[in-house]
Amino acid sequence: MERVTAADGTDLVLERHGEPVPGRPPVVLLTPAGADRTDLAALAEALAPAGLTVSYDRRGRGDSGDNADTLNGAVARELADLRAIIAAVGGPVVLLGYSSGAILSAVAAASGLPVLAVVLFEPPFLPRPGARGIPPDLPGRLWDLAARGRGDEAVTLFQTDAVGLPAEMVAQFRQSPSWSRMTAMARSLAYDTAVSAEHGEPADLAVL
């Protein structure tokens, strides 16, 4: 486990798997909502024999902190975090992201970070222009609930309004071990929904 300091002073934690291999850029893994680096540990270990693979806790989850006192600038903070991770690893890198982590990977590449390629698993892009996406007020509502210690309500809101699960499925999910993990990192859900709300149109990333 290794600590990196983000631009705003937040401690970020990364883990290296494997060793650098000449000609093979490091691969950095980006988690989906409600997950931390341990959820991608098996993938990191599977990729490690081919070269350096890095998993990290995005801010507000796992062992990483979050010094922010406002949601404003959430996506910019995550991009700055990723820049710090890449600098620590030694870029340029390949980004492999899941769900909201996939969109963040694409935004990072389009924003000029030292990224050679992106691998996107199930990015929650809108299926067509003008399709209904993340409600624009959802990130703020999630942030406020988490700030008031109402993580359980935040996870419920995320599952219904972001994922689109019906109430009966949310009730079933509530019985799983994953529920308490998501509740513990409820504030991070505001970041996931922010990146999806702001960059859910694939056309916005046509530069890739």
| Per-residue pLDDT at 207 | 54
Instruction: Give residue 75's domain range.
Output: 2-126
Number of structural domains the chain divides into: 2
For residue 173, the surrounding DSSP H or E stretch is: helix 167-173
- 207 falls within a domain: no
pLDDT in tens, 106-165: 999 999 999 999 999 999 987 766 667 889 999 999 999 999 999 999 999 999 999 999
Mean pLDDT of the residues in the chain: 94
Q: What is the CATH number of the domain that holds 85?
A: 3.40.50.1820
- What is the pTM assigned to this prediction? 0.93
Rg (CA), the chain: 17
Instruction: Find out whether 194 and 186 touch, Cβ atoms under 8 Å.
Output: no
Query: Is the domain of 106 the same as that of 149?
Result: no
| Per-residue pLDDT at 173 | 92
Query: Is the domain of 142 the same as that of 122?
Result: no
- 94 falls within a domain: yes
pLDDT in tens, 45-98: 999 999 999 999 999 999 999 999 999 999 999 999 999 999 999 989 999 999
Query: Is the domain of 17 the same as that of 108?
Result: yes
Domain endpoint, select from 72, 91, 126: 126
Give residues with Cβ within 8 angstroms of 78, minimum separation 6: 58, 59, 104, 191, 195
Place of tokens 């991770």: 85
Q: How confident is the model at residue 201 (pLDDT cuts 50, 70, 90)?
A: confident
pLDDT in tens, 25-36: 999 999 999 999
Q: How confident is the model at residue 203 (pLDDT cuts 50, 70, 90)?
A: confident
Arithmetic mean of pLDDT, 180-194: 96
